[in-house]
Each structure stands twice: as structure tokens, then as C-alpha cells.
A and B are shown apart, each in its own frame.
Chain A
């Protein structure tokens, strides 16, 4: 659904997005992570026909990046900070955009009804948007984004400024439009929890460059400073000696618990456990620790830019 290579945007001398390549298959929820100023919004604007890339090729929803008018018909975008016509009601607002996208009148009526249902605004359908809370506006924005049944939907920080309850509702709706309407979702965020829960795959961006991409779990495995494990043992001194013989670093000793670094080697933990048993050390528990996406994120942010990784 999204397949682009070498996409670059230069504002005068400033390189906002550099040589970005992405491939997002149909039906996926793709997460785009990065701190402020990383180039997420610029990327989304290029992929949605609002901005012409300085360089780069590719297709979104089957339409070339350079055919901007046609591109606008097949994508939907919920901008990062979107304004609303305060005097309009949701019915008028969605009606206005539906007609602008030339959705046939009869279809538009039923579509607006079901969209308001999906975003939970049926009860407020005839109230002016000026009276809405931020959460309600954001939900209306989501409905506007998919009024014309786009193939790909870009959501630029959809949870920005929402309270935890509002964020959870927004995430449910995103999942719902992804599954019920089979819409490919491209989601930018700096909320790691949101992305980890929602997205099939993520890319982490910094200063215009993608530093890492892949499935959240894979990224955690590969980039979480190496895997670790807590091991509860009977004889901690003897266990430490065994670790030393195996070349496994001990990160922490706490009572009967050892925390060891396993590196990227998947076989390190079973091998260590077998050696401990052979040495007669009683094992009460062994818990592998995988890194959270947050650790991965911080890790990637601190690494030099050349260390681009793909998992």
C-alpha cells in the first residue's frame, strides 16, 4: 500500500527528511516513532500529496507520489493540529467534506451515520463543533479522515493532547477502522506504549532518518541492550563461578538473585541453566527479560546516526 524509496525533503538548506524508504503492506498498522522535529509530519505530508518531495519515488495506495491530485482521493490524513469550523455541526462538517470528495449523496448519508456511530458522536450530531471537547473534535477529525473510504490513512499524533481515557478510546477506534474497514493505517506518535500496543511494525526516526524498523518484539530483542535474565539460585557464589566459566557477565547480585546479560545469543540462557544444574546449583526460577520499546527507543536515540538497523 505504501512503497517508497529515497524520499527526501529539503527546506532551503535544511534537510528535514533524508532518503527515506518504506514498505507498508495492505491492512497493516504501521507506527512511525520519533521525537519532535524528527520529520514525521513532513514525511506524512509528502506521502499524502500535500508536499512535493525534493527527491524520491514511489506509490501510496497505488498512486504515484507525484500525481498529487489523484493521491488525495485514495488517502486520508488527520493532521497533527487540526482546526474545525466551530459553527458547523458534525452532520454539516462531514457533509461538507463528503461533498467535496464527491461522495454520492445517498451513500454519504448512510456513511455519515455509521461513521458518527463508530466515533461515538451520534448523540452530538446536531451540536455545533465549537462546543466540543478536544477528544470529541479529535474523533470527528478521525471520521472526516475516512469519509471518502481512503485506502491508506495517515494519523499524525492522533492522541496528542488527549487524557489517558481519550487515548485509549482513540486507540480502539484506530484498531476498529483497521479491522472493520481494512484500511491501512500509518500512525505517527511519540507515545511508545500506544505504538507498541497498536502497531504491527514500527520505524524509529531521528533527524530525518529512519534508524531502525521492524516488528516491535523483534526490535526489542535486537536492540534492547541485549537480552537479560533473572535467575534465583540456591548457592549464589557457586553460580557466579559457573557464569564466569561460561563468559556470561553478571549485572547484579541481590540476595539469591543473579541478573545476567545474555547478549544476542538465543542459546545462552538454556546453556547456562544446564551448566548450573550440572554443577549442582539449585535453580528456583529463571525469568528472561526482554527490553521494552521504550528502552529500544532510548537506545536508538543515543546511538550514532550511522548505526541504522533493521530487524
Chain B
């Protein structure tokens, strides 16, 4: 476990605590601030009602946090490759599984900081709706599942694809393919296909679960949503294991 901690420490020092990491955190905070101010000051927007605003703000906070953390995560292994630091890491007596596991944990942890920074805004919004206080952090807890999933996708893509650019592109492609059905379902007329599409996008399903929480409802009767999220996480876990088994120097790394 101690080698995992060593990697974790190095990852956080090189992600969260660098200018780039701080910039990403700042993007989160500034976006949340702007949205909060706008939504509280515009009378037309408040037509949505306090509850609708909370849901919107929650979705933006989670989508932004997951996107930023995932982008950062897609650079981890590919970045080491590009900087020619991967070889010295692979030389150390740490298994590929542990190395990637630590990088995954670090990426998801950085994403959790993004979510945590959004918490105060959401609590303030939630206070106006008369919602029980625990529901907002619980919603963010659900968002953490999505965070773990997509940062895992990014770490696996970063390992399997050779360089930072292809890592970024392949992560975006996977995310687009996974989330497209959710968007398509919203646009299509009701029907069997539409119904099926509406259940298979992990981001969509996490938002559904969290939306219920924030609307003051329970989580029962949402078996398909849970199933989708569980399958997503299991698939990502297998993808990271696969990537770890294939974590090698690639041709041209010497040059």
C-alpha cells in the first residue's frame, strides 16, 4: 500500500497543486459563482422555481467537475510517456495495477475536490427550497460514482493510446458515445427505442438518481439506473485492469 501512497502524493503535487490544477479549480469556482449570482438576480430565471434552479446548478457543477477532472486524468500516463518519465516509473518495483490504481485514485480524488468546492453554492441554493440538509451532499456522493467512472475511462485511455493528444481524443470519444443515447432519448419521440436509450447513459442515470434526491424523493424504483451505473463502473474497472496488464513502453519511446 505504501507505494500507492507514494504515487498518490506525487500525483496530487503534480496536478492539484500546480498552476494548471489551480486553474481548473478556479474554473469550477468562477463558473459556480457566476451561475449562482445570475440565477439569484434574474427574475425571469427564478421563474423556474428554486427547486429547478438547484437541479440545474447541480447538473452544471457535476458535469463541469467530471469534465475537468477527466481531461486532467487523460493526460496522466500519456503525459509521462510524452515527457519520457514513464520508463523510470516502470523500472520501479510497483505493479502496473498499483501504478494505474494510484493514478486513478488521484484523479478521482482531484475530481472530488472540484465537487467539494461546489458544495457551498448548492447548499445555499438548497436552503431556499426547504430541502433536508443531507440531500445535497448525498447527491454529490452519487456524482462521485460518475467521477470515478469517467476518470477511470481517462486513465485507461491514457495508458492504451500512445500520446497525450490521442489520449484526450479517445477519452472524449468514449464519453460522447456513452452519453449520446441520453441526449438522443430526450430528442426522440416516445417509443421502445427511446425508452431504451433513456436508460443506458451513465451520466444521464446518475443525474436521474441525484435529481430524485434533490426533488425530495427517495431512490426506490430506480433499479435500471442503478444497474446502468453498476455496469458502467464494472466495465471501467475491467478497462483499467486491462490497461494495467498492457502498460509497457511502446515503440519509439527511446527516441
Contact = CB atoms under 8 A, between A and B. Distances in A.
Given A96-B10, A100-B92, A100-B94, A82 B18 contact: no
Contacts of B6: 96, 99-100
A118 to B, nearest CB: 19
A44 to B, nearest CB: 10
B93 A79 contact: no
A117 interface: no
A41 interface: yes
Interface stretch (A45-53, A208-216, A248-256): A45-53
Contact of A83 (B85, B254, B255): B85
A81 interface: yes
B90 A50 contact: yes
Interface of A: 11, 41, 45, 48-51, 69-70, 72-73, 76-77, 79-85, 87, 96-97, 99-102, 144
Contacts of A70: 93
Interface residues of B, number: 26
Contacts of B90: 50
A51 B18 contact: no
B91 A73 contact: no
A233 B80 CA distance: 67
Contacts, number: 66
Contacts of A11: 251
B254 A101 contact: no
Interface of B: 2-3, 6-7, 10, 13-14, 18, 80, 83-85, 87-95, 248-249, 251, 254-255
Nearest to A99: B6
Contact of A97 (B2, B13, B88): B88
Contact of A50 (B2, B91, B251, B255): B91
18 contacts: A11-B251, A48-B91, A50-B90, A69-B93, A69-B95, A72-B93, A81-B254, A81-B255, A82-B85, A83-B83, A83-B84, A85-B85, A87-B18, A97-B88, A100-B7, A100-B92, A102-B2, A144-B88
A79 B95 contact: no
Contacts of B249: 45, 50-51
Contacts of B80: 83
Given A50-B90, A51-B249, A79-B84, A85 B14 contact: yes
B95 to A, nearest CB: 7
A99 B2 contact: yes
B254 A100 contact: no
Taking each of B89, B91, B249, which has the highest tally of chain A beta carbons within 10 Å of its own beta carbon? B91
Contacts of A100: 3, 6-7, 89, 92-94
A101 B87 contact: no
A84 B87 CA distance: 11
A208 to B, nearest CB: 15
Nearest to B6: A99
Contacts of A50: 87, 90-91, 248-249
A192 B100 CA distance: 41
Contact of B87 (A73, A82, A99): A82
Most buried by B among A81, A85, A100, A144: A100
Contact of B91 (A41, A77, A80, A84): A77
Contacts of B2: 99, 102
A85 B88 CA distance: 11
B93 A73 contact: yes
B53 to A, nearest CB: 40
A81 B10 CA distance: 22
B84 A87 contact: no
Contacts of A72: 91-93
Given A45-B249, A79-B87, A81-B255, A101 B93 contact: yes
